[in-house]
Amino acid sequence: MFRQLYRQLVRALLAGEVSPGTILPSARQLASDLGVHYHTVNKTYGLLRRDGFAVLNRRKQLRARLPRSPAAPYLGDWAERQEKLLHEALDSGVRPEEIMRRLATLLRRAGVPWRPGQTGGK
């Protein structure tokens, strides 16, 4: 549910339906308005802050903003999936070196000539 709410808020901000600088409702207020649990909205707001779509001001009000990176919404969602896969691999006994080798292979297949230990992209 929190991912759905996150995507809706990000889309509204990117589409101009919510202007940068707009003060978002408190987590408790939005939860009450939407009929969802407070923790659902709180987690959504945390993701918005993490990905640069919101910032807390001195009064602890959450203000909408546009992130510096246009890829931020994708990267935020991708980071959670990536972490889950990483833990699954490690829990299954896959060594970190093997994970890095496989990632380098996937990047090369995608046309990005990257090798473990290298910094940057192309």
Amino acid at 33: D
Domains of the chain, residue spans:
2-64, 72-109
**Taking the model in full, what pTM does it have?**
0.56
Angstrom distance (rounded) from CA 42 to CA 36? 11
Of the two residues 36 and 118, the one the predictor is more confident about is 36
Whether the predicted pLDDT of 26 surpasses 90 = yes
Mean pLDDT of all residues in 8-18: 87
Which tokens hold the place of 9? Answer: 């808020």
User: Does CATH place domain 2-64 in 1.10.150.120?
Assistant: no
In this prediction, residue 71 has a pLDDT band, given cuts at 50, 70 and 90, of low
Q: Where are the beta strands (DSSP E) in 5-122?
A: 54-56, 62-64
CA angle centred on 68, ends 59 and 42, rounded to 5° = 45
Phi, psi of 121 (to 5 degrees): -95, -115
